[in-house]
Structure 1
């Protein structure tokens, strides 16, 4: 639910003075005049030691999918150029067939929810340069069969297979119906909280497709008014299971494509469960399925025989709080597999044989593995990202499958991410820190040594320095209760320790999240620098419940979301208020989504500490939020009523003393505007004065046109007036 997934990562516009500090404007920050350079749609090929990037030529108004060599970084070829195909619209995204001789190109994409979309798709044969539009209608999630002769896709809740050579389409399912039955595509809550859309998968032989079927006919509906510009508003209705309510009933099916016959798989004696992942193994007859109970504290990895339909539990993960679902499950040639788990208290990499017997715990230590990049089977070397050098940093490592010969490949302190070549000889390293905008370099996988620079952002850095802006300073804040919390501060550039400054605290605070990270700035960071130019100090503190410091630190908030997290923000504000350069009577706090829930609680429960709060798109009662996310951390309202109600800001409105600004979009399919409307009514009936702003037809991200500029101008003005 993190709103930052919606935020545009935009950078500062030009306009500098050589003799004075140039003032940042909100129009520059959120208008997107300057962006850092990047490698768009970077994809590592699997068959050749090459990668592709989607490039745009603004002069000719064309787009190209360009092919590059990992070893030299030289451009090998332009696979397709839109200027050579007048019928091809701008390219949104693309995928290759497994032999990398064909490309599926998505154009004219229309967003549905956070990850899902429909688009027009074009099929391009690289050798013949033949381009064809697949259909005269938009489809979802098309994917090549392994041999590249067929394409499976979803349309209006049903699954289809298109034969490339004959042009024939076969319909695999027929019962799909809006707000009732979905085949092979996830429902709203799976998409949002398990973070995937395509719920079908080809086996390695290309003769079977496994898919999840969602029966959401009994799931309660949510309806949003869409005001648009017509005489009457329209309504958008979709299935949304709130905490404790009926979920979609899921079932697993396998289709034999040649005969178009389907078998329903009996997974075992499960009741009210989730299927958060399916994935075929390297054996074309063996499907892996992850089954999670509703409390999400028991995850079974099941192997299903695709021929007989028999199912066997291979591995079970249990946790006293909850088990996180990841995409790290990777099958090796012998069908042994890589798995990541927090079972020793920190997220680490494990190797199991094909029967589910543990072969080895590969990484160990009081630190977290944050990304699993892959295994070079020829050398037995695993590559991964971790926080071993401090939880605010990310580094790239290699280690043997045996758990020996660990190497740190990255050098600079900050955030490193890697895209490896198919033979694991090289990787493209993306690096940034609070001092360095993103840079892309080619590095040797064996040593981590930089081979060649690819893309830098020296111009952006030079412009940033011309603004004469303050740096983000990292520190550890210790509360009176002894909790040591990661934090950063942005002070005015002409900071004077003898003066007293107002402070705005910013946070998100959701389970497993992180805001205190050593990486380059996003648009909100620039807003904080704008505030620093207005003589505010901005401070961010990651309290208990946030991520990358071990399972105990993260899961301590279990069953009481908003209790310890709010306590930590209040306690941190008390420490900050004692700094000799802080005006303790002028401390404010703001946040978005979970952060808005937190800001609301802080101004109420911390009414003697906080003067002003801004809550954007806040949850105001976890009873209003979805089942998968909420119950993971809270169980159901029926089981844990006090956990829900004692930490709901709606139930503390009588404590409001300071200034409170509440902001929401009416078309928020995620955190419904119902949250704010209920909060508003509670504040009114408590006879409390407050401020609020509603954005018609805006979703959880509240953006589009001039929206962000207007929104952040409003918040800036509010802080200047009220803090």
Structure 2
């Protein structure tokens, strides 16, 4: 038989195509970044309302702040390029002054904890195209004043200001000291649990700075050995208040830059309290302060007059469980304000008068507002994101301030997020779902009409077409009287007549969500890889998770790890009863809170789970921090049973299956103490298990080949034991 070259070429093409379409995911590709998505870095809507800027690299490798026109999508100009400035080889971030005449440039950034960093900063003057370095040392959290003529920053726990017009630097505080006094920055526990680092703010007229001072001298210290490459390890010692222990003593201060005066503000007769947010109002002399009790179920919104120093409680909110802190507080031109609250059972937007009287509830319904985007004073329109289209989806909405004229602006089902232009004429929508990687499109703010596509991830989508890509299947499962959200990943050649082992993933922490209609994370490719090797992977969001109302979210209050574990065990049993699931081969895994959960599931459900993996788990809430733990459990002194009856350490006798325990030795968040205490309990119970400690790795356990090594270990453990 004679085969022509053309026919041979066709055969080769078909053969190669067939092979390509059946390519399996590998751990090397997943953790080597082969499936990363592209995005818009440091997107900033410009004041003119017609343009936005992003951080990019030009074809020659220079870092640039590139300006684009919203309507046309055309590049308009480069505001700053490293090719303009001899002092800069590259930079990692930028912030405009309010009038956009000056830009704060961040370089040589060094991570401290989850949200904090220090770096070398420059000020770039746009009109003169000149630049100068703020300080030779690395500083923290610099903030330009509203008039753009000054900057405040923190160095060695003290606050400084620099006036660009006079060149005068002022040191506002001088008592800052590591592990003792912090001025203008949060301590470890505030940073981690209240999600902010900069604890100072300029007023509207740029002549006053309010800041929080942390006195952490009586907070117990935690230490970690850092092994590195030296002959002797070094110790990292920092203040970490574990549940029931002393917190830093916080106080509020206002510095008057003109008068060169610094005053402590007495907020009232509060004891053992938090100041989770401060923010100047639209009036230059009125500062808003949020004060919360230690149980975090009583919050006062206080207005402080910087002239008289007098505090006034304008609003109080209480909750039987706890109150979530957000950055949604927004002051309108008349100093009335927008506030979000769960007080009607679901998170919604409220409008209050300056004196704290409720004007109206803007949004209503049995669904959650998940993000507040802003208020357009011209059209009196509020923009927000919600789960009105199902708790696993996110959509962008507009609504009038009086609660009328609600419109759904986003059009595609999945996860939609928005960044509005300065005048709300346009917004850039970031969309994804389980089939579509991040898609950036421009829309009209008035009605959501599509203007144009900005950026897609079609290259990644085309690349994935050659792999055994398996879309998540969403469903619900009825467990313990609740309808719970679930996703499943099945083998591409799934045969309902066969029986498959089941591998479950969950996180389960209060207010969290693991079942959502959004693009894949690196873990999802791992699950597809496992599915290709014959496993069914599933995830169920049980009671205590978020976006289904306050009652559902707060059902686990004072009893963490009870209902959540019941739900995972019940879900495993129900799934195990399906004809295509092998009930004798069910495993579960999780990280952090998920590791706490997977450990409990294996110990408390020994006849349900054959194996479990726990990465960086909390093994006793007595070892975790005050703000997070006491929010859900109160203190150990008040609720000892809530801490101990669900602690994996106390249930090691239940271990029958295979168990892999993993932790980083330099985890500043969930300390390796958790794993060491659990290991000792397992040893004394004479239980065999596998474990691994990653030296000098934090809660994320990453860096170099670390993630590849970890996921190789976990994959091998699954294949050997499930």
* Mapped partners of 2:319, 2:331: distance in 1: 24
For residues 670-716 of structure 1, the C-alpha deviation after alignment (integer angstroms, 9 at most, x for no partner) is 00000000000000000000000000000000000000000000000
* Alpha-carbon distance, 1:258 to partner: 1.7
CA distance in 2, matches of 1:16, 1:241: 59
Distance (Å, rounded) in 2 between the aligned partners of 1:297 and 1:184: 25
The equivalent of 2:9 in structure 1 is none
* Alpha-carbon distance between aligned partners in 2 of 1:542 and 1:550, rounded to the nearest angstrom: 14
Asked if residue 271 in structure 1 is aligned to residue 271 in structure 2, the reply is yes
CA apart distance, 1:219: 0.2
**Which residue of structure 1 lines up, in the alignment, with residue 55 of structure 2?**
54
**1:614-642 CA-partner distances (Å, limit 9, x unpaired):** 00000000000000000000000000000
Q: Is the 8 A contact 2:49 2:425 kept in 1?
A: no
- Cα deviation, 1:554-579, whole Å, max 9, x if unaligned, reads 00000001000001000000011011
The aligned runs of 1:529-548 (5 Å cut-off) are 529-548=528-547
Matched, 1:690 2:682: no
Report the equivalent of 2:622.
623
Match of 1:9 in 2: none
Q: Secondary structure at the match of 2:186?
A: coil
How many angstroms does 1:47 deviate by? Answer: 4.8
Q: Which moved further from structure 2: 541-550 or 454-463?
A: 454-463
Q: Tell whether 2:670 aligns with 1:674.
A: no
Residue number in structure 2 paired with 1:131: 131
Structure 2 match to 1:260: 260
Determine the C-alpha separation between the residues in 2 that align with 1:167 and 1:414. 51
Unaligned runs of 5+ in 1: 1-14
Paired with 2:289 and 2:577, the residues of 1 have a C-alpha distance of 53
- Quick check: 1:24 aligned with 2:25? yes
**Partner SS for 1:64:** strand
The answer to whether structure 1 residue 383 and structure 2 residue 383 are counterparts is: yes
Mapped to 1, the partners of 2:540 and 2:581 lie a distance apart of 16
Q: 1:120 matched to which residue of 2?
A: 120
Deviations 1:396-448 (A, max 9, x none): 00000110010011111100000000111110000000011110000011111
Match of 2:103 in 1: 103
Which residues of 2 match residues 127-526 of structure 1 at below 5 A? 127-479=127-479, 481-526=480-525
How far apart, CA to CA, are the structure 1 residues paired with 2:89 and 2:191? 27
By how many angstroms is 1:16 displaced?
A: 8.0
**Unmatched 5+ residue regions in structure 2?**
1-14
Q: Distance in 2 between matches of 1:678 and 1:89?
A: 47
Does the CA-based 8 Å contact 1:219-1:246 persist in structure 2?
Answer: yes
Number of aligned residue pairs: give it: 707
After superposition, the C-alpha distances for 1:379-402 in whole angstroms (9 at most, x for unaligned) are 111110000010000000000011
Measure, in 1, the Cα distance between the counterparts of 2:27 and 2:437.
20
SS for the counterpart of 1:556 is helix
Q: Alpha-carbon deviations, 1:464-518, whole Å to 9, x = none?
A: 1221321100000112x33210000000000000111001100100000000000
Partner residue of 1:642?
641
Partners in 1 of 2:615 and 2:86 — Cα distance? 43
Q: What is the distance in 1 between the residues matched to 2:16 and 2:561?
A: 43
Aligned-partner Cα distance in 2 for 1:229–1:16: 47
Please say if 1:709 is aligned against 2:684: no
- The answer as to whether partners of 1:506 and 1:591 remain within 8 angstroms in 2 is yes
**What residue number does 1:563 align with?**
562
1:57-68 pair list within 5 angstroms: 57=58, 59-68=59-68
Q: What SS does the aligned partner of 1:18 have?
A: helix
CA distance in 2, matches of 1:16, 1:463: 14
Instruction: Give the equivalent residue in structure 1 for 2:7.
Output: none
User: How far apart, in 2, do the equivalents of 1:299 and 1:534 lie?
Assistant: 51
CA deviation map 1:240-272 (0-9, x unaligned): 000000000000000001232111111011000
Provide the secondary structure at the position in 2 that maps to 1:231. coil
Instruction: Find the aligned partners of 1:89 and 1:674 in 2 and give their Cα distance.
Output: 42
Distance 2:90 2:540 in 1: 42
Separation (CA, whole Å) in 1 of partners of 2:569 and 2:274: 37
User: In structure 2, what is the equivalent of residue 610 of structure 1?
Assistant: 609
Give the TM-score normalised by structure 2.
Answer: 0.97
Match of 1:40 in 2: 41
Deviations 1:162-190 (A, max 9, x none): 11123221100000010000000000000
Distance 1:69 1:423 in 2: 14
Paired residue secondary structure (1:91): coil
- The superposition leaves residues 292-342 of structure 1 with CA deviations (integer Å, 9 ceiling, x where unpaired) of 000000010000001111000001110000001110000000000000000
Q: State the 1:142 CA deviation.
A: 0.7
TM normalised by structure 1 equals: 0.97
Rounded Cα–Cα distance in structure 2 between residues aligned with 1:111 and 1:279: 26
Most deviating of 74-83 and 559-568: 74-83
Tell me how far apart the structure 2 counterparts of residues 49 and 237 of structure 1 sit (CA, whole Å). 49
Aligned partners of 1:430 and 1:589: how far apart in 2? 32
- Report if aligned partners of 2:394, 2:415 keep a CA contact under 8 Å in 1: yes
Contact 1:89 1:107 in 2 (8 A): no
Compute the displacement of 1:135 (Å).
Answer: 1.4
**Cα deviation code 1:574-601 (max 9, x no counterpart):** 0110110000000000000000000000
Secondary structure at the aligned position of 2:18 is classed as coil
Q: Distance in 2 between matches of 1:530 and 1:56?
A: 34
Contact 2:25–2:468 under 8 Å retained in 1: no
Measure, in 2, the Cα distance between the counterparts of 1:639 and 1:603: 28
**RMSD of aligned C-alpha atoms?**
1.1
Mean alpha-carbon deviation: is it higher for 684-693 or for 37-46? 37-46
**Distance in structure 2 (CA, Å) of the matches to 1:469 and 1:518:** 16
Shift of residue 92 of structure 1? 1.1
Structure 1 consecutive aligned stretches of length 4 or more whose deviation exceeds 6 Å: none
Contact kept, 8 Å, 2:256 with 2:262, in 1: the verdict is yes
Return the alpha-carbon distance in structure 2 between the equivalents of residues 88 and 334 of structure 1. 43
Q: Distance in 2 between matches of 1:436 and 1:504?
A: 25
* 8 A Cα contact 1:97 1:146, kept in partner: yes
For the Cα contact (< 8 Å) 2:152–2:162, is it kept in 1?
yes
Equivalent residue for 1:10? none
Deviation at 1:49, TM superposition (A): 3.0
What secondary structure is seen at the aligned counterpart in 1 of 2:531?
helix
Q: How many Å apart are 1:17 and its aligned residue?
A: 5.0
For residues 581 and 310 of structure 2, the distance between their equivalents in structure 1, rounded to whole angstroms, comes to: 66
